[in-house]
Amino acid sequence: MMEHENDELPVVDASRRSFLGRSSVALAAAALTGLSVHAQTKTSIEKGEHDHSLSDPGQENKGLLALNPNSNTPPPTDHGSVAPLWYSFDLVKKRVEEGGWTHEVTERVLPSSRDIAGVNMRLTAGSYREMHWHTADEWAYVLYGKARVTVMQPDGNIFIGDVEEGDLWIFPAGHPHSIQGLGPDGTEFLLVFNQGAFSEDGTMLLSEWIAHTPPEVLTKNTGLDASVFAKAPEAPLYIFPGKVPPALSVDKAEIGGEAVAAHQQYTFKLKSMEPTKSSKGGEVRIVDSKNFPTSKKIAAALVTVKPGGLRELHWHPHASEWQFYIAGKGRMTVFFPVDNARTVDFNANDVGYVPSNAPHYIENTGDTDLVFLETFAADEFLDVSLNQWLRRVPSEMLKAHLNIDKETAMKIPAENLGVI
């Protein structure tokens, strides 16, 4: 991944939107990922913290500094330069429509994340995300409220179901689908796509397709009179208000019941499942193709770290990690060769990125639970525990490398605990 660090940003049109996009990229890179080209040593940083070197008599954005203390003044163990690791949904413009809004964090603003992009969307009660489909798989986690989702398979069978906070859904690429907010206050959710450059603005919309198909072709295809399509919207609907639907059983019966029902399950209750791993430090709930077979290209974990707890030192051997922070405060240090390490802070609504195979941890730095999602463009969740590795090698080998004797090594946890 390190060969991408100095890649130029893609050239975009010189419009106000592109200017804002470039500005937000520059903000993230300068404020939270860029390091001095002059190597800092542990000794020089420690000296600077105890004399006048660290002082800043000029201007400061104290609110931003309070949220990102380790990003601004990293611990002395940080060194060199690591690919961008942080961005926030609070820095990107919302697209507001009647019925809700949406905004996205893609490769454009987090250029190191080339495998995954994220969208945060809100639908009020009754409002629709119009019927559409994508070139990427859509994995979603419900952050608030309730929604009704539909997805049709290529064989014509259709799934329709309701989801609520803590549930997720998967819509495979090319499968037409819809989302509608339910009562009493609609829904808000996170969408994850297995393409870093994916944009929610580039989806295949039913309304646009109809608007750009000759009326005589529509008539020939459907058997309906041309006057029917004269009433179709001229502009894309995208997000628009509607009526709260009837009970799920009514909708299922109305579309044909079991005769047209998909046999695959496209929703999953992640938050309410039994923890995959649990300790006094927190819990990890893992969902991938093993327990949710329909999700073949996106794997994830919902992680809760208690105050003082730690998502243990580990790495992922098969895919880069795209994180979304739901609640609490945390910090993460990522190491990458050669001799590079970077520490960043996270708050609710932030996005984190870790290159494949880069070792890291996530520590709860607040006084409430730290809750976040780890997502991967992969069919299986895999992580390698540092503790487990240290306990599995012969004691003489460990002593030769780290000067840890066998008696001391036996105090290290022998299992992959997830959170400690």
Buried b (16+ CB within 10 A) or exposed e, 184-215: eebbbbbbbbbbbebebeebebbbbeeeeeee
411, with CB counted inside 10 A (0-12, 13-18, 19+), is exposed
Q: Which of 200, 374, 380, 407 is catalytic?
A: 374
Report the chain's C-alpha Rg in angstroms. Answer: 24
Cis, peptide link before residue 184, omega less than 30° from 0: yes
Give the H/E segment covering residue 164.
strand 158-164
Q: Alpha-carbon distance 336 to 12, whole Å? A: 30
CA distances from 256 to 156, 159, 162, 378 (A): 12, 11, 17, 34
Does residue 338 have a cis bond before it (omega within 30 degrees)? yes
Q: How far is CA 150 from CA 251, 262, 288, in A?
A: 10, 10, 21
Give the integer Cα–Cα distance in Å for 394 and 134.
Answer: 50
C-alpha pair distances (Å), 338 with each of 79, 80, 106, 358, 360: 10, 9, 27, 11, 15
50 in a labelled binding site: no
Distance CA 282, CA 369 (A): 9
Backbone region of residue 267 per phi and psi (left: phi > 0; alpha: psi in -120 to 50; beta: other values): beta
**Per residue in 223-262, is it b (16+ CB within 10 Å) or e — as a string?**
eeeeeebeeeeeebbbbbebeebeeeeebbeeeeeeeeeb
- Closest of 275, 278, 271, 270 to residue 415, by C-alpha: 278
Cα dihedral: 217, 218, 221, 225 (round 10):
-110
Residue 38 labelled as part of a binding site: no
Q: What H or E segment, with its residue span, contains residue 66?
A: helix 62-67
Residue 321 labelled as part of a binding site: yes
> Residue 314 annotated as binding?
yes
The yes-or-no answer on residue 216 being catalytic is: no
Does the annotation list 177 as a binding residue?
yes
Contact 274, 165 (CB under 8 A): no
Q: Which residues are annotated as a binding site?
A: 132, 134, 138, 177, 314, 316, 321, 360
Active-site amino acid positions = 374
Q: Which residues are annotated as a binding site for Mn(2+)?
A: 132, 134, 138, 177, 314, 316, 321, 360
